[in-house]
Amino acid sequence: MKILPRDSFTIYTSKPEQEVRDLLDKNISYEKYNFLRKANVDDTYFSGYIVDGFFDVKRRIQYRNPFLPQIRGVIKPMGSGSTIKVEMEIQGLIIVFMSLWICGAASGAIATTISLFTQPDPSFAVLFVWLMPLAGYAMAYGGFSYERNVNKEFLLTLVDGQID
């Protein structure tokens, strides 16, 4: 089981490398900001960049999801087609924040569990504090997994590819 929400896979396609680059390039735009939020200036699917077969993008969404995967990949020729090695992971700052939050919630849960053994009349209802760190982990993993699946499907459809 993976501790951190991340995924890596390779897409195989019969399309040549340059065609895959062009397809991705048409669906990537640079982020532009206004004072309060990102401005949507076009209808591209990703924001980020692609340079010499390497891309670093995020899906453009109209809602907030801090667990949106950062997608990095490399396009390489293979025979008459090409391969795309893709890695998806949560941004580093979000990982740091969630690690601190889960560790804090787990510390509280451990302290509360220890207090069960020191109380003359323990209440096992305090074991519900374990739901906080578990819910934090599930929230991070669930938010990431949903977005990962959406992005993976889009990439496969875009390049008409398949995963080994």
Element (H, E) at 83: strand 81-89
147 in a structural domain: no
164 in a structural domain: no
Q: Whole-model pTM? A: 0.81
Q: Tens of pLDDT along the chain (164 residues)?
A: 678 889 999 999 999 999 999 999 999 987 665 555 555 556 788 999 999 999 999 998 888 888 899 999 999 999 999 999 999 999 989 999 999 999 999 998 898 888 888 877 777 777 788 898 899 889 999 999 999 999 999 999 999 999 97
36 in a structural domain: yes
142 in a structural domain: no
146 in a structural domain: no
126 in a structural domain: no
Q: How many domains would you assign to the chain?
A: 1
Q: What are φ and ψ of residue 9, in 5° steps?
A: -160, 165
Rounded (10°) angle between helices 92-118 and 131-159? 150
In 3-state terms, what secondary structure has residue 156? helix
Rounded to an integer, what distance in angstroms lies between the CA atom of residue 84 and that of residue 92? 23
45 in a structural domain: yes
128 in a structural domain: no
**Residue 76, domain extent:** 6-90+153-159
How many residues can be counted in the chain? 164
